Amino acid sequence: MSKKTVRDIDLKGKKVFVRCDFNVPMDENQNITDNRRIVSALPTIKYLIEQNCKIILCSHLGRPKGEVKPEFSLAPVAKELSKLLGQEVLMAKDVIGESAKSLASSLKEGQVMLLENVRFHKEETDNNPEFAKELASMAEVFVNDAFGTAHRAHASTEGVSHYLPSVSGFLIEKELKFLGDALNNPERPFVAILGGAKVSDKIGVIDSLLEKVDTLMIGGGMAYTFFKAQGYGVGNSLCEPDKCELALSLMEKAKNKGVKLILPVDTKIGKEFKPDTESKTVAWTEIPDGWEGFDIGEKTIEMFKNELKNAKTVIWNGPVGLFEFDQFAIGTNEIAKALAELDATTIIGGGDSAAAVEKAGLADKMTHISTGGGASLEFLEGKKLPGIECLQDK
């Protein structure tokens, strides 16, 4: 279902409320350590400036849980945005209070303002209709460009759509295009790589992808539940014993669908959960008691890379090892390098996989890096995202 974007309605000179995702990481001195999400919002904001709109930006940052907490202020974002846009972004001191409303009412064409953290009000996550109405009262059109929160029905992502004509920005359009095309019309062979800690987080995704992909590779902590399900010991590795039946049924489903389900054949294990722990590589069937699996081994890396060589569409969600520790980041880095060299559509599904690709310095070699971890997972699962459902259809 295609949704209207900012291109599809007349916005000239209008007051526009834009939900962005400026939930960026900061250090203890409030310095932004990764501005990728801010940069992703620029095409939409610049387009609205060209249309002489009066632009009211809104976002959350962190989890202040409905309280005003200075460490979660969006002021550093306003500063960064001003620099990137080459014009001052006015910063409101509140969300729906006097400061926000007077700034909004005095905006001139082409001016940009940013509301304070919308999650300073618990009404935001409650999707309170009165609060949504207050937000909407400042503008004439709603633009949602926050893919990272599109799976949440909050006041600023879904609630405001009940009071204003609502369309998507360019970032959401791009996310829907890449993720949608990959799922519904992939160039084949279509390969998915799933990592991360738990099978339970990805049940729906595995289930949904088995209907669509040619090959599914599984790494990360979730692989150990599949090992356990086949009767092998996993030592102290991450494992969900209550999901063993499910793991077997997913393997069975893959077989029935003719999907190649590839699990690691060896694993790099460590004694303790710390960066410099003693480590060694063993076959997946031979993890000793007291040891913990932290990465895929060399044979698995080669096997995964071979499988990727002919791929034409690849979706990767979740690192295949504990990439935060250098000695267990090898598998994840090797996968990232292999994808960077492919002549294929490569889509990284947000969250930790995006962080891993960034850390490896290969982000610009990927076709698309999703800005939404949870949202891209739910999209891959085939769920409807409230922040997108609420937008006008073309």
pLDDT of residue 359: 85
Exposed/middle/buried for 276, CB within 10 Å: 0-12, 13-18, 19+? exposed
Q: In angstroms, rounded to a whole number, what is the distance separating the alpha carbons of residues 65 and 231?
A: 43
Contacts of 97 (CB under 8 A, 6+ apart): none
- Residue type (1 letter), 16: V
Is there a contact between 348 and 368 (Cβ–Cβ < 8 Å)?
A: yes
% of the chain at pLDDT higher than 90: 90
Q: What is the pLDDT of residues 290-313, one digit of tens each?
A: 999 999 999 999 999 999 999 999
pLDDT of residue 304: 98
Q: How far apart are the first and last CA of the chain?
A: 8
Give yes or no for residue 1 having a pLDDT over 60.
no
List beta partners, residue 345: 313
Residue 4 gets which letter from DSSP?
P
Q: In angstroms, rounded to a whole number, what is the distance separating the alpha carbons of residues 368 and 4?
A: 21
Q: Kindly list the structural domains of the chain, giving each domain's residue range(s) and its CATH number in brackets, ordered by start.
A: 6-173 (3.40.50.1260), 186-380 (3.40.50.1260)
pLDDT of residue 2: 87
- Average pLDDT on 231-253 reads 96
pLDDT of residue 300: 98
User: What SS3 state is found at 121?
Assistant: coil
Find out whether the peptide bond into 189 is cis, omega within 30 degrees of 0: yes
Write down the H helix ranges in 51-162.
75-85, 98-105, 122-125, 129-136
- Average pLDDT on 261-272 reads 98
Q: In angstroms, rounded to a whole number, what is the distance separating the alpha carbons of residues 327 and 268?
A: 9
Residues counted in the chain = 394
Instruction: Give the catalytic positions in this structure.
Output: 37, 198, 351, 374
The token pair that represents 74 in the structure block: 């969006």
Give yes or no for residue 282 having a pLDDT over 70.
yes
The angle subtended at Cα 95 by Cα 91 and Cα 100, nearest 5°, is 55
Within 13 A of 42's CA, how many CA atoms are on the CB side?
Answer: 15
Q: Which of 82-96, 147-161, 194-208 has the lowest mean pLDDT?
A: 194-208
Residue 158 gets which letter from DSSP?
T
% of the chain at pLDDT higher than 70: 100
pTM: 0.89
The angle subtended at Cα 298 by Cα 294 and Cα 303, nearest 5°, is 110
The structure tokens 């990232």 sit at 336
Phi, psi of 89 (to 5 degrees): -100, 115
Q: Give, in order, the Cα–Cα distances in Å from 279 to each of 233, 270, 294, 345.
A: 18, 4, 9, 35
Q: In angstroms, rounded to a whole number, what is the distance separating the alpha carbons of residues 261 and 223?
A: 11
